[in-house]
Amino acid sequence: MIKYRLDFAKKYLDDAIELFNNKKFNSSASRAYYASYQAMWAALGDPKEGKIWRHLAIIKHFVRGYWFAPNHPASGPGLLEDKRLPLRRLYSYRIKSDYDAIDIDQHNLEQLLNVVEQLMNIIDKKGGG
């Protein structure tokens, strides 16, 4: 696991929660997504050949679960499949917020903030790459 990335992820999540509490939902969505991105990177480790993780690819690799269960089959559902859709939704919220200038729904964002907190707990518990 890359500890400094997980530390950044936790800071970004704190920022996202503070922004949410101040009703800055679009900014909160963006910070929450990057909290999840850094957390997944921390768990997976650096990508091969010094590249960076692509946004949808990191979600795909993360939910497979090989970073904590290397013997899990390469095909079929991932071990964290229940996180795939919420993480993709959070990514789409980040796009809507940062590029499309569309207001983010408070209720749905609150649920996604909880998913990011769950992610941090899973990574803390299981370690990673």
- Listing DSSP states for the chain in one string gives --HHHHHHHHHHHHHHHHHHHTT-HHHHHHHHHHHHHHHHHHHH-PPGGG----HHHHHHHHHH-TTT-TTS-SSS--TTGGGHHHHHHHHHHHHIIIII--PPPHHHHHHHHHHHHHHHHHHHHH---
pLDDT given at position 128: 63
pLDDT given at position 129: 55
Split the chain (129 residues) into runs of 10 and give each run's mean pLDDT.
92 98 97 97 87 86 92 89 96 95 94 96 83
pTM of the model: 0.92
pLDDT given at position 94: 95
Neighbours of 41 (CB within 10 A): 24
pLDDT given at position 5: 94
pLDDT given at position 52: 78
pLDDT given at position 73: 87
60: domain range?
3-126
Which CATH number fits the domain that encloses residue 63?
A: 1.20.120.330
Count of residues in the chain: 129
pLDDT given at position 115: 97
The total number of structural domains that make up the chain: 1
Q: What is the pLDDT of residues 59-77, one digit of tens each?
A: 999 999 999 999 988 788 9
